[in-house]
Amino acid sequence: MVTSAPANLRARQAIRDTWGGEVRVRGLRVLTLFMLGVVSDPGTAKLLIEEAKERGDLIQGRFLDTYSNLTLKTLSMLGWARRFCPQAHFLAKVDDDVLFNPSALLHFLNKSRDPYEQGDLYLGRVHLRVAPDRNPDSKHYLPSRAYPSYVFPDYCSGTAYVLSRSALLKISMAASASPLSTPLPPEDVFIGLCARAAGVLPLHCPLFSGGPVVPFSRCCYQAMVSIHQILPREMLHYWADVHSSQPCSWLSVRASLGLCKVRAMLGTAL
């Protein structure tokens, strides 16, 4: 499920033309849908209706689609998946600027556990001991009346994370039971809070990008599960490049993953 902003039509199209267009990966069925809210601008609303008719892959929740309502978008997504996807073993929540890689995810899941195992999984890039933002001018401002603790429970970065069916049910149940403060914590923090309330622990996977942007390298992008901050045209270009030739060998993947990390860190230092 891709949480998308109504105006990001090009981002959605790039996803459909790349990873979101996959329907069968490693012999398993996958499906990509987009989650949005309601828009106040009639022009955009009309475009969305046309897009929905043409593509049939938009889900619209009953809330105003604004940045501060992103948590409501995730809640709608969980509720929808709980209700309409009882057959799905896993749900990935992905932002619309993320190059996601279902094949790399399934490979990782297959290696790390029995894919049909019923246990809880809350997988992504885990942020440890993050403190709430107490700066009133910040867009993530969270006053202590809304969240009194000095630190959040560890949570998966919201750019992309994966829930197993049982974790989805537990977290969604905890979310319906938890009071909605104003302002709401950021959506990924909120999911982390619900996960803790439900007794579901986040699991870290280094194949999910976070923080520094990962510079393009074919073997590295082939192995990563998610890479954030990708423009629509980059997504098309990288996807074509990654799939244009033979899979990289185990050795070149190892080497290039290390190199990607170093280059990502250098990139932020320069």
Ligand X SMILES: *[C@@H]1O[C@H](CO)[C@@H](O)[C@H](O)[C@H]1NC(C)=O
Residue (27 or 136) nearer to ligand X, CB: 27
- Tell me the residue type at 5: A
Span from 41-49, 66-74, 168-176, 213-221 in contact with ligand X (CB under 6 A): 66-74
Residue (39 or 193) nearer to ligand X, CB: 39
Applying CB under 6 A, does 216 fall inside the site for ligand X? no
Q: Kindly tell me which residue out of 10, 40, 68, 204 binds ligand X, with binding defined by CB under 6 A.
A: 68
Here's the x/- map for ligand X, 82-111, by CB under 6 A: it reads as ------------------------xx--x-
Here's the x/- map for ligand X, 8-27, by CB under 6 A: it reads as ------------------xx
Quick one: how far is CA 123 from the chain centroid?
Answer: 10
First CA to last CA across the chain, in angstroms?
A: 35
Residues facing residue 94 across a β-bridge: 2, 160
Applying CB under 6 A, does 69 fall inside the site for ligand X? yes
- With b for 16 or more beta-carbon neighbours within 10 A and e for fewer, the 208-247 pattern comes to bbbebebebbbbbbbbbbbbbebebeebbebbeebeeeee
Residue (141 or 150) nearer to ligand X, CB: 141
Give contact residues for ligand X (rule: CB under 6 A): 26-28, 63-64, 66, 68-69, 72, 106-107, 110
